[in-house]
């Protein structure tokens, strides 16, 4: 049984439990202005967790592509990756703890075949201040399941103080066993859903040897101590609360949100704490070994380089697939950063330049069965990587020249100034690792801690800027955001009418202050074209069309002239929003009975007359062949 088998077995297991299998959403989130990437399986599901109906029903299962850019600096150990697949199953006001916990125990022990003696569980301790009770029900359910397998399962509290206590089930506070996209309850914005969770950990054994040599050796060993002995492989979130101005209140429905890391479950299956030894990485790792003449596992620096390259190029492949081509802004910035970092480590392994695409090809071959779009977009992905490597090689050359200028007056033993090292990074894209190595080779010193502080300062400023740019709250459903969401439908229809059928949507981003809309078009819009688009949208607003939706099959949606990314998010059944007469044929003309029909998850206004006046503020290139419009409602 390999990782691909586990993915298929998981989806079919929950299909047999009445769940609808839906495809992974894009890793570029739609209408969530607070984050650049989809970082969890829950993220695309927020509207449905809050009560909106899902076209697939109340039981959903999927394998969601995820990117967590905050883990970039952690990559290089045996368990952190930026890209990962999150196996998910969802109860949208349907079943709850009594069903979910036994199903997960059954899947892990009987279907995947994991030994229950190596499984450990954590549950929520409760919080009197939040008026949320200890999750005794989950703990007792787990205890019963283990004992039915002949495994003793004592329950203990405060393991972070008292250690393992010969127990198998442990209570932790909200810093460990509470889940929302914003983290702990105090960080959650008003309107955000969350709830207690119960997590599953795999014990890789080795008694306490791993703990004795780790940085936690002077603290009690427990399942959440990060010493390396235990690995979290899954998390059942019982999402039943929503934060309000007056504290936490029950959601209108009790939801289950399970997320299980495919790579981590696969690592548990082979009982190896190094996820880079799972089958998902084997072909990629073998390709690197052939190109470098080195063997994975030999040499600490080489192992680190292997892991960074494998992770980053896998992530880059999926980021480019979903539209984040290398650039200096937003998602493209992280694609560029990860690709350039991978290229740097390719160089340290002695692999000749231009071979980056050999690894990318292997990533595509590894995943093309599960994600057929990779094969369809193969040439585009490879071309983007080739062009970026060429640019980076020039950057390296320019950075080397600048470094020589900086150090020309320095004597052996003198320090490379932190501001110069950071300028190399910020202005030339020159990785600090290279600056450090060149300094050491030249007999100079460099203050790595000072550079990290400067980097932290820069990141904090960037985060503050992003908070201003995307202010509006988690999965913002304010009146203005809903209006802008509806306006994107009118804009999409108008662009197709004015520019032609190729002007299809490639992405959108909405805040309460403006909308941003990306679409396919090869050249700058003329003033006349922009005016035509504005006039059409404003005519539709003035017409005061009704906005309605209907759930239907993909085939029905296509027959009725709906536009949108078919199959990208919902599967066989989709939610289709119509602006105007729901029985008419969509035509973005002045006075048309039906102005637009589009696949979408919602929410929208009921009448277009409430939108105000639509105005295009800026139109520019986003990437090759993609244009971007920023617009406001006045």
Over residues 418-437, the pLDDT tens digits come to 999 888 887 777 778 778 87
Query: What is the DSSP track for 166-211?
Result: T-SEEEE-HHHHEE-TT-SGGGPPTT-EEEEEEEEEEE--STTHHH
Q: How far apart are CA 401 and CA 412, in angstroms?
A: 19
The model's pTM:
0.77
Is it true that the peptide bond before 603 is cis, omega within 30 degrees of 0? yes
Q: Cα separations (Å) of 600 from 191, 399, 563, 568?
A: 21, 46, 9, 11
Largest CA distance in the chain: 80
pLDDT at residue 473 tops 50: no
Q: Look at residue 512 in the predicted model and tell me its pLDDT.
A: 80
Residue 591 binned pLDDT confidence (cut-offs 50, 70, 90):
confident
Please count the other Cβ atoms lying within 10 Å of the Cβ belonging to residue 340: 21
Q: Look at residue 601 in the predicted model and tell me its pLDDT.
A: 72
With CA atoms as reference, report the closest residue to 361 among 436, 277, 445, 290: 290
Structure-block tokens of residue 588: 């973005």
pLDDT tens for 539-566 read 999 999 999 988 888 888 888 988 876 5
Contact between residue 259 and residue 86 where contact means Cβ atoms under 8 Å apart: yes
Contact between residue 613 and residue 633 where contact means Cβ atoms under 8 Å apart: yes
Q: How far apart are CA 12 and CA 20, in angstroms?
A: 10
* Strand locations in 223-347 (E): 230-244, 247-261
Average pLDDT over residues 12-38: 87
Best mean pLDDT range from 32-41, 208-217, 317-326: 317-326
Average pLDDT over residues 257-262: 95
Structure-block tokens of residue 126: 């409760």
Q: Among the listed ranges 158-162, 598-602, 613-617, which one has the minimum average pLDDT value?
A: 598-602
Q: Look at residue 34 in the predicted model and tell me its pLDDT.
A: 65
Q: How far apart are CA 608 and CA 486, in angstroms?
A: 8
Q: How far apart are CA 349 and CA 302, in angstroms?
A: 7
Q: In a 10 Å sphere around its CB, with 0-12 CB exposed, 13-18 middle and 19+ buried, how is residue 479 labelled?
A: exposed
Give the distance, in angstroms, between the CA of residue 279 and the centroid of all CA atoms in the same chain: 22
pLDDT tens for 66-116 read 999 877 878 888 888 999 999 999 999 999 999 999 999 999 999 999 999
3-state secondary structure of 378: helix
Q: Look at residue 563 in the predicted model and tell me its pLDDT.
A: 85
CATH code for the domain defined by 479-633: 3.30.980.10
3-state secondary structure of 248: strand
Q: Look at residue 321 in the predicted model and tell me its pLDDT.
A: 93
Mean of all residue pLDDT scores within the chain: 88
Q: How far apart are CA 388 and CA 394, in angstroms?
A: 10
pLDDT tens for 43-53 read 888 888 878 88
Contact between residue 1 and residue 24 where contact means Cβ atoms under 8 Å apart: no
Please count the other Cβ atoms lying within 10 Å of the Cβ belonging to residue 556: 14
Fold match between 3-276 and 479-633? Answer: no
* Strand locations in 68-112 (E): 83-92
pLDDT at residue 20 tops 90: yes
Contact between residue 24 and residue 62 where contact means Cβ atoms under 8 Å apart: yes
DSSP character at residue 445: E
Q: Please say whether the dihedral angle defined by the alpha carbons of residues 442, 448, 454 and 459, taken in this order, is positive or negative.
A: positive
Please count the other Cβ atoms lying within 10 Å of the Cβ belonging to residue 41: 27
- Return the CATH architecture of domain 3-276: 2-Layer Sandwich (3.30)
Domain ranges of the chain: 3-276, 297-395, 409-474, 479-633
Q: How far apart are CA 63 and CA 76, in angstroms?
A: 24
pLDDT at residue 328 tops 80: no
pLDDT tens for 270-295 read 999 999 999 999 999 999 999 999 99
Q: Please say whether the dihedral angle defined by the alpha carbons of residues 292, 369, 566 and 39, taken in this order, is positive or negative.
A: negative
Q: Which residues pair with 607 in a beta bridge?
A: 546
Average pLDDT over residues 256-273: 95
Q: How far apart are CA 421 and CA 413, in angstroms?
A: 16
Average pLDDT over residues 595-614: 88
Q: Cα separations (Å) of 26 from 320, 498, 538?
A: 11, 27, 30
Q: How far apart are CA 407 and CA 502, in angstroms?
A: 53
Contact between residue 501 and residue 488 where contact means Cβ atoms under 8 Å apart: no
Q: Look at residue 33 in the predicted model and tell me its pLDDT.
A: 63
Share of the chain above pLDDT 70, in %: 94
With CA atoms as reference, report the closest residue to 470 among 32, 127, 136, 178: 32
DSSP character at residue 109: I
Average pLDDT over residues 160-180: 94
Q: Identify the H or E element spanning 615.
A: strand 614-623
Residue 571 binned pLDDT confidence (cut-offs 50, 70, 90):
low
Q: Among the listed ranges 166-180, 255-269, 299-313, 557-571, which one has the minimum average pLDDT value?
A: 557-571
Q: Within the chain, how many helices (H) and strands (E) appear?
A: 20, 19
pLDDT at residue 634 tops 70: yes
């Amino acid at each position: 049984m390999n990782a691909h088998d586990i993915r298929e077995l998981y989806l079919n297991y929950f299909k047999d439990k009445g769940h609808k299998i839906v495809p992974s959403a894009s890793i570029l989130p739609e209408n969530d202005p607070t984050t650049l990437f989809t970082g969890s399986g829950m993220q695309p599901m927020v509207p449905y967790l809050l009560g909106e109906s899902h076209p697939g029903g109340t039981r959903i299962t999927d394998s969601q592509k995820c990117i967590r850019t905050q883990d970039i600096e952690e990559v290089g150990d045996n368990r952190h990756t930026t890209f990962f697949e999150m196996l998910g199953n969802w109860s949208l006001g349907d079943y709850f703890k009594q069903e979910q916990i036994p199903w997960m125990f059954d899947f892990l022990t009987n279907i995947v075949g994991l030994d229950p003696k190596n499984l450990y569980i954590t549950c929520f301790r409760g919080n009197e201040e939040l008026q949320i009770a200890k999750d005794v029900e989950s703990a007792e359910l787990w205890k019963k399941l283990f004992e039915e397998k002949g495994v003793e399962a004592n329950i203990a509290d405060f393991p972070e103080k008292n250690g393992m206590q010969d127990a198998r089930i442990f209570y932790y506070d909200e810093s460990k066993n509470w889940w929302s996209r914003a983290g702990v309850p105090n960080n959650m914005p008003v309107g955000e859903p969350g709830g207690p969770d119960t997590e599953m950990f795999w014990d890789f054994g080795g008694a306490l040897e791993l703990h004795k040599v780790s940085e936690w050796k002077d603290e009690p060993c427990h399942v959440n101590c990060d010493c390396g002995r235990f690995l979290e492989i899954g998390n059942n979130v019982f999402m039943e609360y929503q934060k309000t101005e007056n504290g936490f209140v029950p959601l209108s429905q009790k939801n289950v949100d399970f997320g299980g890391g495919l790579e981590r479950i696969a690592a548990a299956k082979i009982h190896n704490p190094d996820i880079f030894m799972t089958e998902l990485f084997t072909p990629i790792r073998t390709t690197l070994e052939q190109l470098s003449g080195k063997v994975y596992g030999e040499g600490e620096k080489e192992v680190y380089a292997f892991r960074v390259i494998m992770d980053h190029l896998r992530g880059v492949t999926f980021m480019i697939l979903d539209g984040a081509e290398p650039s200096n802004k937003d998602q493209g910035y992280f694609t560029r950063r990860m690709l350039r970092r991978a290229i740097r480590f390719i160089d340290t392994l002695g692999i000749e330049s231009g071979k980056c695409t050999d690894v990318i090809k292997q990533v595509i071959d590894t995943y093309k069965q599960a994600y057929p779009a990779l094969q369809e977009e193969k040439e585009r992905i490879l071309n983007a990587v080739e062009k970026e490597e060429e640019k980076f090689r020039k950057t390296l050359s320019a950075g080397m020249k600048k470094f020589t200028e900086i150090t020309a007056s320095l004597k052996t033993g003198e320090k490379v100034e932190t501001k110069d090292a950071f300028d190399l990074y910020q202005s030339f894209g020159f990785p600090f690792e290279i600056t450090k190595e060149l300094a050491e080779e030249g007999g100079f010193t460099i203050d790595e801690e000072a550079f990290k502080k400067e980097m932290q300062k820069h990141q904090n400023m960037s985060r503050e800027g992003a908070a201003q740019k995307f202010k509006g709250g988690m999965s913002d459903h304010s009146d203005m955001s809903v209006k802008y969401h509806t306006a994107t439908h009118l804009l999409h229809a108008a662009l197709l009418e004015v520019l032609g059928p190729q002007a299809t949507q490639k992405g959108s981003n909405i805040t309460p202050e403006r909308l941003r809309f990306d679409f396919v078009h090869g050249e700058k819009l003329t003033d006349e074209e922009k005016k035509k688009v504005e006039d059409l949208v404003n005519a539709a607003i003035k017409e005061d069309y009704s906005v309605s939706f209907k759930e239907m099959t993909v085939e029905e949606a296509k027959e009725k002239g709906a536009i949108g990314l078919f199959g990208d998010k919902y599967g066989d059944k989709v939610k289709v929003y119509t602006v105007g007469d729901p029985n008419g044929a969509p035509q973005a003309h002045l006075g048309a009975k039906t102005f637009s029909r589009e696949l979408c998850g919602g929410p929208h206004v009921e009448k277009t007359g409430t939108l105000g006046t639509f105005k295009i503020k800026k139109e520019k290139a986003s990437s090759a062949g993609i244009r971007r419009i920023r617009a406001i409602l006045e």
